[in-house]
Amino acid sequence: MQPLDLVPIWTAILALGVFFYVALDGFDLGVGMLYNFAPDRNARNLVMNSVAPIWDGNETWLILGSVGLLAAFPVAFAIIIPAVYFPILLMLLSLIFRGVSFEFRYRDAVHRTSWDHGFAIGSALAAFAQGLILGAFIQGFNVQGRQFVGSSFDCFTPFSVFTGIALMFGYAFLGAGWLVIKTEGALQDWARALGRRCLIATVLAIGIVSLWTPYMNAQIAARWFSWPNIAYLAPVPLITLGLVWYAWRSFNDRSEYGPFFAALGLFVMSYIGVAISMWPMIVPGHFTIREAAASPSTQAFLLIGTLFLLPVILVYTAWSYWVFRGKVRADIGYH
Amino acid sequence: MQLDPEFLSRLQFAWVVGWHILLPAFTVGLASYIAFLEGAYALTKRQVFLNLSQFWLRIFAISFGMGVVTGIVMPFQFGTNWSRFSDAAGNVISPLLAYEGLTAFFLEATFLGVLLFGRKLVPPPIHFLAAVLVAVGTLSSTFWILATNSWMQTPVGYEVIDGRYFPKDWFEIIFSPSFPYRLAHTVSAFYVTTAFVVLGVGAYTVRRGQSLAEGRMMLRLALWFLMIFVPLQILLGDAHGLNTLEYQPAKLAAIEGLWDGGKGVPASIIGWPDQSAERNLDEIEIPKLGSLYLTHSWDGAVKGLKDFPPDQRPPVAIVYFAFRIMVGVGLLMLGMVALGLFLLARRELDRTQWYLRLCEFTICLGFIAVIAGWTTTEVGRQPWTIYGLMRTADSVSPSLTGDNVLLSLLLYVAVYLVIFPVGVSVMLRIVRSGPAASDEGPPIQSGHPKSPIAALAGTTPEGAR
């Protein structure tokens, strides 16, 4: 009997896990960046409180993403992670500063302002580092056999720096959408105003990356622009444009949930776009998902638990969002 | 001089995991303690338990937050610095790490949010359940990460294909020979560490004369707990040592500082192991005692370091001293607990200023023992990442230069040297303000706390239980 092929299932689970990370920590990193521009102390408290109960759950998806990559595609983990040695370092140190700021900001009255900056700058640099990793991934790595053999600085290119900046705006856009949901009155107007600017920057960035990528890589260009692919894939840019229009409208027409879900939709479309460009490679140019897949026994053993645990996690995560739903109030401290 | 990426990567790993382990060493025990306090409050409705729970929750939030962010660093180290190990062993260890995330991290992170911010948003039984689930999460995390570590120490249940390790029997992999001993010894160590912190903070609170009820409760709970767990921990340590003798004889020989194996070996009390001369300088030893406690027979045979080629021996002096520090701390703990119980029995505990002051100093004992024990077992595993199979030298990422790792190491050092002192000072400030000052700022409230919870309590199975 042919054993059941688990590679597509694991690809889907990993893709879902990474997307959950991008969407969830994306908005709270975005909130962290916008925090810097909040008009006053009261506004800053509200902005921080809007993510305080959920940020570490969101960040947990990053662990799942990294360990999931190791579990599903070990050789891809062994090649990609050392190739982006310094962006990973930057991301980790930034996440440390940002994470402890939640606690230190309130407890450590003397250094209050420096932890305020730590929160905002940490969020921004973490977002930048993640965008840089994405750019480096799209560009590909110098691989021999099963190892990355380039230099630790190869990943810094104009393209990857650009994708780093692009992701900062994307996350800030998501964060603004979240703040529209969680705040009201003048602060919500402030979030809408910033959100509109981030939307414009994000759309420009998506456009530039969408042109730059096929320009860099003939194979990707062929995939998108050859006939009949161009017809099949046309919905991707078209839906994206529709979402941009919807996002702009909902920032302006007092819609509370519209901006956030429009932003989420744009992330979904960009994510699908990258996936179409890369498919079926997990290490561009060297390993397909099938070649990089873990042993069947590894996949099966982990799948049994994952199929049970992941839905449970999603249920209680959704429940915790439900508990903390609604507007954050102005008159309260951290905890 | 050429910088060595392997050595620097080892230093970096030791640095990031050394600081990180201090946090679970504290939070694993503290989560269980808080769940106990919440349960005691639910049953007795005594204010003292609620005050204590709120007080420790504030400290828990800080140490847990630091644990999360320094913990995220760890799985990435496998990729950034130890990519050849990840490629070789990924098929075996990755599900264990993934199960840690799936069964522990999400549980802890999500329900900690409810525990910290939700006291007024969810009904009391759900709030208590959140406390229990956070505690369960910390223990589950300990289970899986130690299963991973134990497999690297005593690998079984695998097969080798083209120099890479593939799973054959998952039960054997998870329950490798050293795992039950390591798990019991570590969880007990974490509980003891927390209890010594509670003892010290309780002593400080009593000595200052504020929140006397809370202080006395902390002192007593900690002492009763330690009365059982310190002796138990020493027994568990002995069992773990005998397990090491069986499965990692070179590590055990380094722990004992035993160069020449044979029958009726001596016990080295203290000395200076000289790796190149293959002997201990200025040594005090007791003849035959080593065989007695290792094999429970005066003439039992024990392997010495010289029974292994020089390139398969760990750095002896580090292992030898780390072990002695751990054992020394264990004996100190035993003394502290005996003294405390003696004073308690004579009803002098709360008035004996010198003992209370001493308790404040012994807050650090558990942490020292954890670091020393961890050093013993990890340095003792050298020169292997997977004991007897894969060398540390063959595990490091090939693309890294010494300069790369030096730069990252320096940055980790700089960042940890900022956040750890600040974290400790923030926690000390909470301790100084005391349990009575439990902050009443109602936690983060969102819109309409009532309706959903009422609906929820009836509908979800979690709520019903």
DSSP letter for each residue of B373-438: HHHHHHHHHTTEEETTTEEGGGTS-TT--HHHHHHHHHHHHHHHHHHHHHHHHHHHHHHHHTGGG-
* Residue A35 resides in a domain: yes
Question: Which of B64, B69, B116, B453 has the most A C-beta neighbours within 10 Å, making it the best mutation to test the interface with A?
Answer: B69
Q: Chain B within 8 Å of A323 (Cβ-Cβ)?
A: yes
* pLDDT value at residue A38: 87
Domain containing residue A132: 7-323
Smallest CA–CA distance from B121 into chain A, residue: A323
Helices (H) and strands (E) in chain B, counts: 16, 8
Q: Distance between CA A172 and CA A210 in Å, rounded?
A: 20
- On whether residue A329 sits in a domain, the answer given is no
Asked if the structure places residue A26 within a domain, the reply is yes
Q: Above pLDDT 90, what percent of chain B?
A: 67
Interface test with A, best of B110, B170, B433 (most A CBs within 10 A): B110
A162/chain B closest Cα distance in angstroms: 23
Provide the pLDDT confidence category of residue A39 given band limits of 50, 70 and 90: confident
Q: Does residue A162 have a pLDDT over 50?
A: yes
* DSSP code at position A54: T
| Assigned domain for A263 exists | yes
A229 found inside a domain = yes
Res. A70: pLDDT tops 90: yes
Q: Which of B257-261, B362-366, B389-393 has the lowest mean pLDDT?
A: B257-261
pLDDT in tens, A48-68: 888 888 888 888 899 889 999
Helix H or strand E segment including B75: helix B47-80
pLDDT digits (tens, 9 = 90+) for B372-416: 999 999 999 999 999 999 999 999 999 999 999 999 999 999 999
CB–CB of A62 and B68 under 8 A?
A: no
Residues B415-460 pLDDT 10s:
999 999 999 988 998 898 888 755 544 444 444 333 333 333 333 3
Closest CA to B385 of B368, B402, B371, B397: B397
Rounded to 10 degrees, the C-alpha dihedral A89/A90/A91/A93 comes to 80
Number of domains present in the structure of chain A: 1
Segment A202-227 shows an average pLDDT of: 91
* Residues in A touching B399 (Cβ below 8 Å): 82-83, 85, 147-152
User: Helices marked H in chain A — which ranges?
Assistant: 7-35, 41-49, 55-72, 74-83, 85-107, 112-139, 158-182, 185-216, 218-225, 229-233, 235-252, 258-278, 289-292, 296-323
* Residue A110: per-residue pLDDT: 60
Do B404 and A152 contact (CB within 8 A), yes or no?
A: yes
Q: Indicate yes or no: CB of A148 within 8 angstroms of CB of B399.
A: yes
Rounded Cα gap, residues A59 and A82, in angstroms: 21
d(CA A327, CA A329): 6
Q: Considering the domain boundaries, does residue A126 fall inside one?
A: yes
Identify the weakest region by mean pLDDT among A97-111, A273-287, B401-415, B443-457: B443-457
- Does B80 contact A81 at a Cβ distance shorter than 8 Å? yes
Helix axes A41-49, A7-35, angle to 10 degrees: 170
Q: Average pLDDT of A214-232?
A: 90
- How does the average pLDDT of chain A come out, rounded? 89
Q: Residue A316: its pLDDT value, please?
A: 85
Cα B98 to Cα A43, A67, B190, B349, B428, distances in angstroms: 38, 6, 23, 47, 35
| pLDDT score recorded for residue B138 | 93
- Amino acid identity of A225? F
Once rounded to an integer, what is the mean pLDDT over residues A149-154? 92
| Predicted TM-score of the model (pTM) | 0.90
Reply yes or no on whether the pLDDT at B32 is more than 90.
Answer: yes
In a domain, A2, yes or no: no
A149 to chain B, any CB pair closer than 8 A? The answer is yes
Pairing outcome for strands B384-386 and B267-274: unpaired
CA–CA dist A17, B40 (Å, integer):
38
A89 touches B: beta carbon within 8 Å = yes
Query: Locate tokens 């949930």: which residue?
Result: A257
**Could you tell me if residue A331 is inside a domain?**
no
- Spell out which residues of chain B touch residue A125, defining contact as CB-CB under 8 Å: none
